[in-house]
């Protein structure tokens, strides 16, 4: 068994650095490097937004060509919607970073987050590369978690340790995201590393499956970014693990725990959010139907504003489910509960239901909305948050 911790474990074979390159106007750190030792493996999932950013395009190409030795992550500029010039700028940074680290350009993966549609000031990143490389160390996870933030109010970092038959195995991950979040693999970036030795094909299966169970089950505003990326690194400095290993289930559970805690942290820090709400849908003809209904509720502006007001206006939940596109919906199958208080049964209000009971639940910082849409054994959950006045203010003033 393992426990998830906010105190980062060092990952042998992985070093990090964070410096100010001058992209942000306020002088905050905005360039983060992650150096990966030779012999490591890495796998990733990226945004499904058709108009993906230049660094996503280049990172995909480089990851297909070579195992990465360095991740170059900048905040303050997304390098998205920048055409061929954006690709050229990202490649320049990779080439210059590779030259300084004595590795090929395709062993460098670029990641960017920030404002869309503005040219990346590649010269600023290039000038900051050597100072950043000089700062690389294995205990800089917290600095890196701060360095990748944009509208985030807190850094997001979790770790776990798994004791295996061949010694301890460590996991540490950081992520950023507080708005433009509906990862579909929000402006979301995640970097997770373990010191285990894991084959690349097994690692790709892991990152795909675990991202789907964590980052792909959250929403703040229903917007999928052009820059979403999640990379999983295995530095091969610890125990060798594979699906055939007796320790694989415990390792996988610990890794999933880190993924899920990072995903929860994104929603908890949603722009202007005051509530963390789980939408739990059961009984659809297929899991996909449960997921459609859950996302319809979780992304409804009317539901989300009611969450902010602690208003048990269950009609908004019912309406969202009804337009979700879930198959086989019948009104008499619908049950709704909030915080364990049953509101609707068989499509009708529960006799004697007291709205004040639900209002008290909704005044809390975290609770569950449960919806049954049929009698099948299917199930899906989505994490969401409320829409507050601050969400509009933050996004209205984002570029000012």
Please give the backbone phi and psi of residue 81, each rounded to the nearest 5 degrees, phi first: 70, 30
314-343 burial code (b ≥16 CB/10 A, e <16): bebbbbbbeebebeebeeeebbbbbbebeb
Backbone φ and ψ for 229, nearest 5 degrees, come out as -155, 145
Q: Which of 187, 219, 224, 278 is catalytic?
A: 187
Copy the structure tokens of residue 10.
Answer: 């060092």
Which ranges in the chain belong to alpha helices (H)? 54-65, 83-101, 122-134, 141-147, 200-213, 248-268, 287-299, 301-309, 314-322, 355-362, 389-396
| Cα-to-chain-centroid distance, residue 199 | 23
Apex 214 CA angle, 274 and 259, nearest 5: 95
* Ordered alpha helix ranges (H), 195-239: 200-213
Using CA atoms, how far apart are residues 234 and 214, in angstroms rounded to an integer? 19
Is 187 catalytic? The answer is yes
- The position carrying tokens 């059961």 is 282
Q: Mind telling me the catalytic residues?
A: 187
């Amino acid at each position: 068994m393992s426990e998830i911790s906010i105190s980062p474990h060092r990952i042998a074979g992985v070093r990090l650095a964070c410096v100010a390159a001058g992209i942000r106007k306020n002088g905050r750190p905005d360039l983060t490097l992650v150096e990966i030792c030779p012999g490591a493996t890495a796998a990733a999932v990226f945004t499904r937004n058709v108009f993906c950013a230049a660094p996503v395009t280049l990172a995909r190409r480089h990851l297909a060509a070579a195992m990465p030795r360095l991740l170059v992550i900048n905040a303050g500029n997304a390098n998205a919607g920048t055409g061929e010039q954006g690709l050229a700028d990202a490649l320049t940074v990779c080439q210059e970073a590779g030259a300084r680290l004595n590795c090929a350009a395709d062993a460098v993966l670029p990641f960017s987050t920030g404002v869309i549609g503005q040219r990346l000031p590649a010269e600023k990143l290039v000038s900051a590369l050597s100072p950043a490389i000089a700062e690389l160390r294995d205990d800089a996870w917290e600095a890196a978690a701060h360095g990748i933030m944009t509208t985030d109010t807190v850094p997001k970092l979790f770790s776990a340790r798994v004791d295996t038959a061949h010694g301890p195995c460590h996991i540490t991950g950081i992520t950023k995201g507080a708005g433009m979040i509906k990862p579909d693999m929000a402006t979301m970036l995640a970097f997770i590393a373990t010191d285990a030795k894991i084959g690349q094909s097994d690692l790709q299966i892991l990152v795909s499956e675990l991202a789907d169970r964590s980052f792909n089950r959250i929403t703040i505003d229903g917007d999928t970014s052009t820059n979403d990326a999640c990379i999983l690194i295995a530095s091969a400095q610890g125990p060798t693990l594979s699906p055939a290993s007796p320790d694989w289930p415990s390792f996988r559970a610990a890794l999933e725990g880190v993924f899920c805690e990072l995903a929860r942290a994104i929603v908890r820090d949603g722009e202007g959010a005051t509530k963390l709400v789980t939408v739990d849908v059961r009984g659809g003809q297929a899991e996909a139907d449960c997921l459609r209904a859950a996302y319809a509720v979780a992304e409804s502006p009317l539901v989300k504003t009611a969450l902010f007001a602690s208003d048990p206006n269950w009609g908004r939940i019912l309406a969202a489910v009804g337009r979700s596109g879930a198959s086989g919906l019948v009104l008499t199958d619908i049950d709704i509960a909030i915080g364990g208080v049953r509101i609707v049964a068989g499509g009708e209000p529960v006799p004697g239901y007291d709205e004040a009971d639900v209002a008290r639940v909704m005044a809390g910082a975290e609770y569950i909305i449960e919806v049954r849409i049929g009698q099948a054994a299917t199930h899906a959950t989505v994490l969401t948050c409320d829409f507050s006045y601050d969400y509009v203010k933050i996004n209205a003033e984002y570029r000012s």
